[in-house]
Amino acid sequence: MNRKARLAWELYLKMETSDESFSLLQLIANDCYKMGQFYYAAKAFDVLERLDPNPEYWEGKRGACVGVFQQIIAGHEPRETLRDILQILRNTGNPQVEYIIRVMKKWAKDNRVPVS
């Protein structure tokens, strides 16, 4: 909640896998989302979704990825971040992901943003 999402993410990465690290991941995902720090929220929801296929984690990840996309369009997030977001989206089995990726890739093509 103090706008230091990167530091929280780095702390999580240093932890051993445990109930405590899972709780920190949930805290990062939810607090970053609330604070509009969608990039780290997306990363956290991605890991949560892979650890526990709870549909709420997909919904959080989807919302966070779209939030990052909006920030990229508005010029508040580097365009290169789109490549990371597309990779995060590809880490799901949800059928909605194809439509979201298609929209993002079309925007990238129209705006000459290189993505793979």
Amino acid identity for residue 21 in this structure: S
CA 93, CA 76: separation in Å to the nearest integer?
A: 29
pLDDT of residue 100: 96
CA 24 to chain centre: 16
pLDDT of residue 16: 87
The tokens describing 106, both together, are 């079309």
pLDDT of residue 3: 73
Tens digits of pLDDT across the chain (116 residues): 677 888 989 999 998 888 899 999 999 999 999 999 999 999 999 999 999 989 999 999 999 999 999 999 999 999 999 999 999 999 998 899 999 999 999 999 999 998 86
